Amino acid sequence: MEDLWNIWLSELHKKHTGFTLKIKKIIYSGQSDFQQVDVFESYEFGRVLVLYGSIMITEKDEFIYHEMITHIPLCVHTKTKKVLVIGGGDGGAVREIVKHPSIQKVTLVEIDKMVVDVCKEYFPQVSSEFDNPKVEVLYADGAKFVYHGTEKYDLIVVDASDPIGPAEVLFQKSFHEQIYDRLNDDGILVAQSESPFYHQETIRKMYKNLKEIFPVVELYLASIPTYPSGLWSFAFCSKKYHPIRNFDRQYFAGLKLNTRYYNEDVHEAAFRLPTFVRRLVDAG
Amino acid sequence: MEDLWNIWLSELHKKHTGFTLKIKKIIYSGQSDFQQVDVFESYEFGRVLVLYGSIMITEKDEFIYHEMITHIPLCVHTKTKKVLVIGGGDGGAVREIVKHPSIQKVTLVEIDKMVVDVCKEYFPQVSSEFDNPKVEVLYADGAKFVYHGTEKYDLIVVDASDPIGPAEVLFQKSFHEQIYDRLNDDGILVAQSESPFYHQETIRKMYKNLKEIFPVVELYLASIPTYPSGLWSFAFCSKKYHPIRNFDRQYFAGLKLNTRYYNEDVHEAAFRLPTFVRRLVDAG
């Protein structure tokens, strides 16, 4: 059977290079109002969620992205009460956020209900906190939600897919300006910001814009094997707190989080950038 | 033409996952006494050297590996005079080593003359220092050279290919014991030690063995997009110097190396490990 049914998922990261993964089984394939939504069982990375043709999460390595997009800001602003997550319909970011005791409410705004439904069904370890009473899930356009709303947040996490397809607007300056207005005076924005190897123009533009909006803007890195190039970046943007000077090591130690990637050392190392990455951020 | 001649080089990293790269042209393909040696022109990474079916270097990202395997030890032991490089027939490590003013002699021991010849011909920016009078190139089995020799070194760099094929012996404990004997009392060994995502058993064994030989053994990391998983590890093993406590920032600043990956921040960050990597090293 394995020899006859020989399917490889090949995701091209640039036009001429990519990542390839052998598939055991197609678990789900659907078309939502926004995008193609596929779930595969792979040999090497367990179940894989693919949106708009891009690998979003795999069972085996999703912990890295989700730990790094949440615990970095939450171990800096340790009194965070209200969090807004834009995108992140798999639930992984929410799962990590509610581990922090100060959290009172997490609002997740996902444009595509099919993503949430599919993750509840096929990724129960990732979507495990959607029923937590502190968590509210809204199906709406994240950009419009930010524009029309009035509520303020301590932390906004932009857990978007790539800047092609439905998430394109979430990489634009006008969106980040509106985010700024929806943050409290000590609020933090964290947003995924693509690969420093493959998406250099996106990073240059995005950080130039962010630095025109926020007084503190720092790029940090994580190694994620199923993302393009294996090296991924995140933007830490803040009105007040600095990601290193205000990192609360004691708070983190007290949490006993049992993380598999994030730790005190990683928190500080993630902001120390290879020269070519430093130049991308400073170029703006 | 491009549409008709459609060749993709797919390197499998584990049985069921890999990296794929579109090829513009086959530049060289030969069989040495030891292995298949291929050079391709790729669209995304420039020229690519493939040994025994594994990507060794590409023009676009070789700087990362070569900066990290050399400047880390050389900015710790800043009086290094004599260096032995085992493998490294492309010349990239040698190119970086001779940038340090204390260096008097670099001996490169490469088992496969075809690798050196091919790199001289097709990778002139990598093999650029083979004619430097401080550099001596020997074609010999690295393990036997270490076993039979008597000369002592300040730094030994094991720039080996994967532990399958001709480099297998370079990952074994008996080889590292002999390396220890060939180092001066303040000598350092640096060896590439595979991917923490894909080669966990290799890393566990290798570090367990190294810790039984050297008083200082630390793993450090670098992100290399064309290597398996994008995350690569190196073993820093030393008789005396600690890679962080003895790192000489002033020495590095004075060098004005014009590196594109390595810098003072990266030196310190590279040793701060994600939890799952820390556990691999501590497991031994």
Cβ–Cβ below 8 Å for B259 and A275: yes
Residue B4, pLDDT > 70, answer no
Residue A88 in this model has a pLDDT that exceeds 90: yes
Contact B22 A16 (CB under 8 A): yes
pLDDT band at B6 (very low <50, low <70, confident <90, very high): confident
Q: Are B19 and A15 inside 8 Å of each other by CB?
A: no
Q: Do B262 and A274 touch (CB under 8 A)?
A: yes
- pLDDT (0 to 100) of residue B279: 97
Q: What pLDDT is attached to residue B171? A: 84
- A200 pLDDT band (50/70/90 cuts)? very high
Percent of chain B exceeding pLDDT 90 equals 90
The C-alpha atoms of residue A168 and residue B241 are separated, in whole angstroms, by 49
Contact assessment for residue B81 and residue B103, using Cβ atoms and an 8 Å cutoff: yes
Question: Closest Cα to residue A20, out of B26, B8, B62, B222?
Answer: B8
Interchain proximity A17–B197, CB inside 8 Å: no
Positions of B marked active-site: 159
Chain A, nearest residue to B22 by Cα: A16
Task: Give the pLDDT confidence score for residue A262 in this predicted structure.
Answer: 98
Say if the Cβ atoms of A221 and B223 lie within 8 Å.
Answer: yes
Check pLDDT > 70 for residue A250. yes
pLDDT at A14: 86
Q: What is the mean pLDDT of residues B168-189?
A: 94
Q: Do B197 and A260 touch (CB under 8 A)?
A: no
Residues of A with catalytic annotation?
Answer: 159
- Burial letters for A89-104: b for 16+ Cβ neighbours within 10 Å, e otherwise? bbbbbbbbbbbbeebe
Instruction: Indicate the pTM of the whole model.
Output: 0.96
Say whether B275 and A268 touch across the interface (CB within 8 A): no
- Report the gap between the CA of B282 and the closest CA in chain A (Å): 14
Cβ(A184)–Cβ(A220) below 8 Å: no
* pLDDT of the residue at A28: 98
Rounded mean pLDDT, A141-166: 91
CB distance B112 to B145 below 8 Å: no
Closest residue of chain B to A22, computed from CA coordinates: B16
Q: Which residue of B has its CA nearest to A270?
A: B269
What's domain B62-282's superfamily in CATH? Vaccinia Virus protein VP39 (3.40.50.150)
Which residues in chain B touch residue A230, judged by CB atoms under 8 angstroms apart? 223, 225, 229-231
On the question of pLDDT at A22 being above 70, the answer is yes
Q: Name beta bridge partners: A85.
A: A108, A157
Best probe of the A interface among B197, B200, B247, by most A CBs < 10 A, is B197
What's the ipTM? 0.95
Least confident of A115-129, B155-169, B181-195, B239-253: B155-169
Q: Over 70: is that where the pLDDT of A1 sits?
A: no
| pLDDT above 70 (res B87) | yes
Q: Which residues of A touch B61 (CB under 8 A)?
A: 197
Q: What pLDDT does B97 receive?
A: 98
Do B272 and A268 lie within an 8 Å CB cutoff? Answer: yes
Name the 3-class secondary structure at B6: coil
Tell me how far apart the alpha carbons of residues A176 and A106 are, in angstroms, rounded to a whole number: 19
pLDDT at B242 over 70: yes
Backbone angles phi, psi at B255, to 5 degrees: -70, -30
Give the pLDDT confidence score for residue B283 in this predicted structure.
86
- Sketch the domain layout of chain A as residue ranges: 7-58, 62-282
Closest by Cβ to A43, choosing from B16, B42, B268: B16
Q: Over the stretch B220-233, which tens digit does the pLDDT of each residue have?
A: 999 999 999 999 99
What is the tens place of the pLDDT at every residue in A218-233? 999 999 999 999 999 9
Task: Please report the pLDDT score of residue B3 as a whole number.
Answer: 63
Q: Is the pLDDT of residue A4 over 80?
A: no
Q: Which residues contact A158 (CB under 8 A, 6 or more apart)?
A: A86, A87, A142, A170, A179, A189, A190, A191, A192
- For residue B58, the distance in angstroms to the closest alpha carbon of chain A comes to 13
Q: Which residue of B has its CA nearest to A61?
A: B197
Residue B1 has pLDDT above 60, yes or no: no
CATH class of B7-58: mainly beta
How does DSSP classify residue B146? Answer: H
R_g of chain A computed on alpha carbons: 18
Mean pLDDT over the full length of chain B = 95
The pLDDT, as a whole number, for residue B225 is 97
Name A215's bridge partners.
none
Mean pLDDT of all residues in A28-51? 96
The average pLDDT across A138-145 equals 96
Per the document, the length of chain A is: 284
Higher pLDDT pick, A22 / B168: A22
Closest residue in B to A10 (Cα) is B20
CA distance B80 to B62: 24
Helices (H) and strands (E) in chain A, counts: 9, 12
* pLDDT, average across residues B133-138: 98
Q: What is the average pLDDT value for chain A, to the nearest integer?
A: 95
Spatial distance between the Cα atoms of A283 and A202, rounded to a whole number of angstroms: 12
**Of the candidates B230, B266, B273, which has its C-beta nearest A272's C-beta?**
B266
Collapsing DSSP states into helix, strand and coil, what is residue B196? Answer: coil
Collect all residues from A whose CB is shorter than 8 A from any CB in B: 10, 14-22, 42-45, 61, 64, 197-198, 221, 223, 225, 229-231, 259-263, 265-266, 268-270, 272-276, 278
Residues of A in contact with B22 (CB under 8 A): 15-17
Domains A7-58 and A62-282 share a fold: no
Q: Best mutation site among B15, B40, B223 for testing chain A: the one with the most A CBs within 10 Å?
A: B223
Work out the average pLDDT over A55-83: 98
